[in-house]
């Protein structure tokens, strides 16, 4: 499923493994320690190789931790990309402790990193929906809304955002949100 903006930018949904989808930049659902982990983070580090962690080690020595809502960039190692943007999503409590704003900030920050690096294609996972517990339907609406807003000006470098979703449940949640945000246009 996909949506195309009036100026030709595309938001596409795919079910699958983000480490196997070619893009200029792959977004990683990282933890604030930038120290690797499970889920998407573990898959990206396994597929990308040790180069990514070496870069993160240097970044950690400079900034310490990355706060929720933020992101840092590294090379992509063995992944089919130029960059990995390590985005730190919020841990979901109840939606009333800044979680929606922090999650939206993850997507905006990654898009800003992409713009500054001349990225044309970017792939996103469903940030914070795994062990961080963000409800899929709410996370999908926030993620898609932020990317669609970003695509409002026609002069963006990023032309394609691919949401690579692990499992049918995640795909269905994002598909439902996309249909609601762009009725009749998907």
Active site residues: 41
How buried is residue 35: exposed, middle or buried, by Cβ count under 10 Å (0-12/13-18/19+)?
middle
Q: Which of 43, 28, 30 is nearest to 122 (CA)?
A: 28
Q: How far is CA 58 from CA 61, 112, 124, 133, in A?
A: 5, 21, 24, 29
84 three-state secondary structure = strand
Which of 125, 135, 58 has the alpha carbon at shortest distance from 100? 135
């Amino acid at each position: 499923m996909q949506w195309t903006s009036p100026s030709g930018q595309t938001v596409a949904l795919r079910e699958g493994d983000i480490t196997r989808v070619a893009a200029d930049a792959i977004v990683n659902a990282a933890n604030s320690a930038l120290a690797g982990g499970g889920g998407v983070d573990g898959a990206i580090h396994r597929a990308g190789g040790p180069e990514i962690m070496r870069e993160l080690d240097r970044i950690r020595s400079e900034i310490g931790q990355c706060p929720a809502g933020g992101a840092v960039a590294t090379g992509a190692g063995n992944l089919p990309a130029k960059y990995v943007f390590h985005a730190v999503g919020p841990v979901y409590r109840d939606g009333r402790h800044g979680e929606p704003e922090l999650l939206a900030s993850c997507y905006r920050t990654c898009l800003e990193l992409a713009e500054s690096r001349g990225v044309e294609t970017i792939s996103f996972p469903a940030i914070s929906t795994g062990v961080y517990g963000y409800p899929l339907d709410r996370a999908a609406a926030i993620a898609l809304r932020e990317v669609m807003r970003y695509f409002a000006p026609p002069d963006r470098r990023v032309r394609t955002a691919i949401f690579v979703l692990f499992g049918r449940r995640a795909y269905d949640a994002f598909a439902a949100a996309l249909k609601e945000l762009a009725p009749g246009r998907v």
